[in-house]
Structure 1
């Protein structure tokens, strides 16, 4: 991307400008590998791929962000966890390529996800989807933007259908009355981008299976919140980040008006 999208004035503007520039540099580097030949290896006992592009983007993000803010902590999918982050008030939470499987297969639904988390909550966030030419950004005290324009969740239509992204095996576990209203959205390989689709009104909600990670969620969580949506556990408890354990249980996300029905319909997914 030749030029950055200028963020709005905010207490967190300087940090947002920093992560915006770093995310664009990392994403443009990853885009240079996209649909070309590159190395791929497997981690987590062969369950998760990591590409040469993931690692190159991670190096750019870490160098730029910690180079500018050496007193901040660091949490990234592609860096061994350093528990010193737990003693830092401010931590960068990063996924260099969210949607690596899509990236490897040549699909364009992947993005760079960067959040600044302060005292457990995201305060500045950027999602950059370079193959789509899209930049999402937000601060805790500002608007959610997509390519510089304000975005908002879709208005709830009381008698209308709901576009909900979820795994096919979860549909049958929803409350029957709710299920009749739902149009299932096909799989979106990047969880962060899926949440951004709620933020800009393309879909109404999503159910997230267990074991998502801080780096999948933190940036999109803030963008969704500033667009009028909510991401939380099925018990309606908001998420907290930069904890010793960085995985989460089943989650629901939707606009504020649509969330209660989504969570109620999902009650059979796990015991409360």
Structure 2
């Protein structure tokens, strides 16, 4: 299939408009009585997730009918593997937080080309924060270049699961436990803003959890990697990933990667089937 004629910037414009509309739809369900249930992997889904997913599938695929589709709330269609570009979508990232009434849930949209995220949007409607980036086009927050802000000399802020914290403490790292945001994508982009210095995520995240945030972090010069296989690759047959680390300070990399490998290991692909796919970790 030939490369689609649209530019990354044009794809980003489509993602941005669609994310804002999706956020409006989802916001209509927020902090109200919402039907919800658990999927086979025990992660929650709500009627809001499904409605937003249907809206996005219609809006995005009508605009780009040659693109593939991969969404958390749509049955996987292997035909995406034959597409040059693919939409990777999480209608509501952080559904548990959404259902609890926490305001950091996000709508995450990405375009992936040849396994790499080339355009991405992470939109937090209740916080009025829209993070976006295109490959080689820079990253922005609410239309302005993302500028990382940190207090000089303050210890690094790192959210992670308890077992990872234990390893970091045993290694003697001086740091502060970071705030927990149920949306993994929202956690990741805070490394770019400076609210967090690193994010450590358990094994089992999937393409839709991280694709949009990955292009944003990469454009901000942040290091993001599967600690066992390197820079994440998307739109493969198996869309699950190993433990993930994103960081702004490269001096943290050896300790953080070692802690994640010690806690979660580096399994063969088939071993990932035993891992829960929820990214709602306990800090």
TM-score by length of 2: 0.86
Per the alignment, residue 271 of structure 2 pairs with: none
Say if 2:172 is the partner of 1:174.
Answer: no
Q: Is the 8 A contact 1:153 1:229 kept in 2?
A: no
Q: CA deviation at 1:233?
A: 1.6
Q: Is the 8 A contact 1:153 1:255 kept in 2?
A: no
Per the alignment, residue 24 of structure 2 pairs with: 28
Q: CA deviation at 1:109?
A: 1.1
Structure with the higher fraction of residues in helix conformation: 2
Q: Distance in 1 between matches of 2:64 and 2:105?
A: 26
Per the alignment, residue 38 of structure 2 pairs with: 42
Q: In terms of mean alpha carbon deviation, does 32-41 or 207-216 score higher?
A: 32-41
* Structure 2 residue matching 1:123: 3-state secondary structure: strand
Q: CA deviation at 1:174?
A: 2.7
TM alignment of 1:241-256, pairs within 5 A: 241-255=234-248
Number of residue pairs matched by the alignment: 260
Say if 2:166 is the partner of 1:210.
Answer: no
One of 74, 78, 86 as aligned partner of 1:79? 74
Structure with the higher fraction of residues in strand conformation: 1
Q: CA deviation at 1:60?
A: 1.1
Q: CA deviation at 1:130?
A: 0.5
Query: For the structure 1 residues 38 and 123, does the alpha-carbon distance in structure 2 shift closer, same or farther, using more than 3 Å as the test?
Result: same
Q: Distance in 1 between matches of 2:37 and 2:170?
A: 42
Query: For the structure 1 residues 260 and 169, does the alpha-carbon distance in structure 2 shift closer, same or farther, using more than 3 Å as the test?
Result: closer
Q: Distance in 2 between matches of 1:123 and 1:107?
A: 30
Contiguous gaps of at least 5 residues in structure 2: 1-5, 267-283
> What root-mean-square deviation, in Å, do the aligned CA atoms of Structure 1 and Structure 2 show?
2.0
Q: Distance in 2 between matches of 1:237 and 1:71?
A: 29
Deviations 1:149-208 (A, max 9, x none): 111445696x641101101232112363453x1211132110000001111111100111
Q: Distance in 1 between matches of 2:259 and 2:99?
A: 35
Q: Is the 8 A contact 1:174 1:268 kept in 2?
A: no
Contiguous gaps of at least 5 residues in structure 1: 1-9
TM-score by length of 1: 0.90
